[in-house]
Amino acid sequence: MDLRPILGLISFLQQEEDEEDEDILAILSIIKFSKKNGNTPYKMSLLLKYIMKQSQRRRLIRDQGRTERIVLPGYAEMVFRYRDIQFSEDYRMSRERFQELLQIIAPALCRDFINDGEPVRNKLLLGIWALSTRESFREIANRFGLRNRSSAHNVFVKVCKLISDNSQLFIQWPQEDEYARLAALNSFPDALGFIDGSFIPLIQPKHSGKSYFNRKKFYSVTLQAVCTGNQRIIDVSVGYPSSMNDKRVFKCSSLGRGRLERLLHGTNYHLLGDGGYTLGFRMMVPFRRDHELQQFEICFNAALSSNRQIIERVFARLKGKFRRLRTYDVKNLDYFNDMIVAACCLHNFTLDMPFELDYEREQPNELNDDFDLLDEDLNEELDERAIEKRNIIATYYAEALEESEGEEE
């Protein structure tokens, strides 16, 4: 048996920093290689013994030159002595809201960290801090007095997962008797909310090819969100490779597979989308610019674009508050989606807190509400009811424009 590929892999893994992870990876690789090549259990055992012996030798060498790790004790307790405004700025919510959130997920956190000795509230503080900043997990571990970065990362992942698992408490589609009130928040007729997608960057996942490489030339996952006029998120769908356009993401989501029609059945309400979506009775989109637009079409597009800016502000606020969504240090999709959903949940949970954006505004996914026409766009058949509905709304705006011009004269 040729051992050179395996020994080369072992040599590479031994240069990594995290001993536990590299040992696991090496053992799994040995087993996979051995099964593929039909090696006997005896040969596998020899290779595994070699791995463990080298691991013990490596740890002994490192421990000889390693000094005791210095951490900052008591930081989490010191946080609760902050002034109210400082606590809100650092943790994106008031103390009262933090206590409410703690009551929601504390039982589940206690189950996940049995006999850990660290207060549950400190773990929640760490999770929110990690989601709100771009600090490395090594820095976060030092800040919260943990042994290493993997401990901090483990706490962060579990907090995000627990919030995501309870997302129905934070992200809810409104009841039918609330539709009229929410539609009244918008100047566009019968618009219940707004839908769009946003790119959440990450490092290229393994074995993904170019499926996560978007048209803006970086790797990302698409977050599809629906919000109302008060910037509250009422539906999210995550995990789609960003090579997929908005139309395809919508068709793959639960809303596109019939849930939107069921939720709005018996009403005249609809969502507002950009040119990347298909016109439907429940989805109003701009008139395409594949022809010279008439005046009533221009008025319709302007009104729709003006109202639809709310979803762009929601994405800007989301990424401004929870800056972990703007970093590129994530490539494990197992918890990446939980992190995105947790940020959306906390966005709704802290919506009543004042927040000022101090970075560039989120760029829209399209340019001037235009889009590239694909062959499938040219050949698709539009719903006649949707076309009629859009024309009626466009006529309404055209008549309003004529009345305003007549009054000026």
Question: What length is written for the chain?
Answer: 409
Which of 336, 193, 340, 203 has the alpha carbon at shortest distance from 255? 193
Range 52-67 burial, b when 16+ CB lie within 10 A, else e: eebbeeeeeeeeeeee
Which of 172, 395, 383 has the alpha carbon at shortest distance from 296? 395
Strand order in the sheet with 233-241: 233-241, 220-227, 191-201, 270-272, 283-284
Q: What is the pLDDT of residue 373?
A: 43
Which of 152, 192, 196 has the alpha carbon at shortest distance from 174? 192
Please write down the HEC assignment for all residues of the chain.
Answer: CCCHHHHHHHHHHCCCCCHHHHHHHHHHHHHHHHHHCCCCHHHHHHHHHHHHHHHHHHHHHHHHCCCCCCCCCCHHHHHCCCCHHHHHHHHCCCHHHHHHHHHHHHHHHHHHCCCCCCCHHHHHHHHHHHHHCCCCHHHHHHHHCCCCHHHHHHHHHHHHHHHHHCHHHCCCCCCHHHHHHHHCCCCCCCEEEEEEEEEEECCCCCCCCCCCECCCCCEEEEEEEEECCCCCEEEEEEEEECCCCHHHHHHHCCHHHHHHHHHHCCCCCEEECCCCCCCECCEECCCCCCCCCCHHHHHHHHHHHHHHHHHHHHHHHHHHHCHHHHCCCCCCHHHHHHHHHHHHHHHHHCCCCCCCCCCCCCCCCCECCECCCCHHHHHCCCCHHHHHHHHHHHHHHHHHHHHHHHHHC
Q: What is the pLDDT of residue 280?
A: 93
What backbone torsions phi and psi does residue 191 show, to the nearest 5 degrees?
Answer: -85, 110
Half-sphere exposure in the Cβ direction for 234 (13 Å, CA): 21
List, run by run, the mean pLDDT of 10-residue segments along the chain (409 residues): 52 48 57 62 66 67 54 74 88 90 85 71 92 91 86 91 93 95 94 95 81 90 96 95 93 94 94 94 92 86 93 94 85 85 95 60 43 48 85 85 62
Q: What one-letter code names the amino acid at 382?
A: L
Q: What is the pLDDT of residue 396?
A: 85
pTM for this model (two decimals): 0.77
Residue corresponding to tokens 């401990």: 151
Distance (Å, whole) CA 130 – CA 139: 10
Which of 230, 69, 48 has the alpha carbon at shortest distance from 145? 69
Q: What is the pLDDT of residue 76?
A: 79
Q: What is the pLDDT of residue 19?
A: 45
Q: What is the pLDDT of residue 105?
A: 85
Q: What is the pLDDT of residue 18?
A: 46
Strand partners, 219: 213
Distance (Å, whole) CA 112 – CA 309: 41
Q: What is the pLDDT of residue 60?
A: 66
Distance (Å, whole) CA 245 – CA 223: 11
- As given in the structure block, the two tokens for residue 142 are 């030092």
User: How far separated are the first and last CA of the chain, in Å rounded?
Assistant: 93
